[in-house]
Amino acid sequence: MKAMVLTSPRTFQKVDMAKPTPAPHEALVRVESSGICGSDLHYYTDGRIGDTVVREPLVLGHEYAGIVESVGRDADSSLVGKRVAVEPGIPCLRCEWCRSGHYNVCPQLQFPGLPPNHGAFREYMTVHADFCFPVPDEISAAEAALIEPLAVAVHTVELARVRPGDTAAVLGLGPIGLMTAKIAKLCGISYLYGTDLFDFRLEAGRRYGVDATCNASQDDTVSWILEQTRGRGVDIVFDCARSSLTPSIACRVVKPAGRVILTGISGESEGVFPVDVARRKELTVTWCRRFLFNYPTAIHLAVSRQIDLRSLVTHSFSLDDVGKAFEIAAEYRDGVLKVSIDQ
């Protein structure tokens, strides 16, 4: 089968790989669509995320969907022929954290596109069949691939324990920030502020439920939000940016005794965090680790069209053109929101 391998920062090579054979508990998925995630971009531009370094050629990609072509003898045979959204992180299902319902922090979790595990920018994947979620025919392959980041957004809002009437801010209006904004409004946020460095993302934010926007490259985010809220701050801040600066901003614009959810990945292994601000304000600060039992909800939101996944996919490329796709995403060119690799 064909695969696109990252051989060094900003360099892909097309290679032939052996088509995988499913283990007894696995499904063989013919990949139809894969999305480029912010974590993929860190590996593409820097060759690392913190201490996780790409040391060998690696196939990136973990947001994917496709058609189940076959299954192992112990897997659900009814999956064959169906389009599935795949939950990519496969835990051990045996450790303390898996058994206590926190499989997303399983120390032995295997994640595609995370060194040394090859990811989805190839023609076929094998995956534990229990992590394949069938989607209805009206959901396209590109939309089904977006169930993965949508599940992240669902978990992000879930962690905030939104109360009807709360106010909130979303820092970073990329795809996960946009989906977080929409879900937050569905859950009862009364007024939502959004910030980003690009005007086209701010415009998208207004389509996804953001009530007031600020271009953080032109105005000071802290001053703007505090001015907008008359010095009070917001009840909740969702940090969905790829920045080491936004956790500090989040703690400064949330109200005393407020909630801060940190979802964005800065790429740094160590970061500056305003401990004094968080302590004096007695903040509840929670990090989001991907998702946790959120795929069924995410699929329901997509099928019911309560969230518009179609408009998020602004660019589509073939597998052979992965390099061009990553360049557009990394450089934020041409109004890019989500880039889809479609086969």
DSSP string, 282-310: T-EEEE--S-SS-HHHHHHHHHTTSS--G
- The per-residue pLDDT for 75 is 98
**Three-state secondary structure call for residue 240:** coil
As a whole number of angstroms, the distance between CA 176 and CA 162 comes to 17
pTM, entire model: 0.96
Rounded to the nearest 5 percent, the helix, strand and coil shares of the chain are 30, 30, 40
- Arithmetic mean of pLDDT over the chain: 97
- Give how far Cα 261 sits from Cα of 53, 101, 171, 288, 316, Å: 26, 20, 10, 7, 31
* Domains of the chain, start order: 2-146+309-342 (3.90.180.10), 152-287 (3.40.50.720)
> What is the per-residue pLDDT across 152-207, written as a single tens digit (0 to 9) for each?
999 999 999 999 999 999 999 999 999 999 999 999 999 999 999 999 999 999 99
- The per-residue pLDDT for 270 is 78
The percentage of the chain sitting over the pLDDT mark of 70, rounded to a whole number, equals: 100
Q: How far is CA 219 from the centre of its chain?
A: 27
> What is the per-residue pLDDT across 233-277, written as a single tens digit (0 to 9) for each?
999 999 999 999 999 999 999 999 999 999 999 888 777 889 999
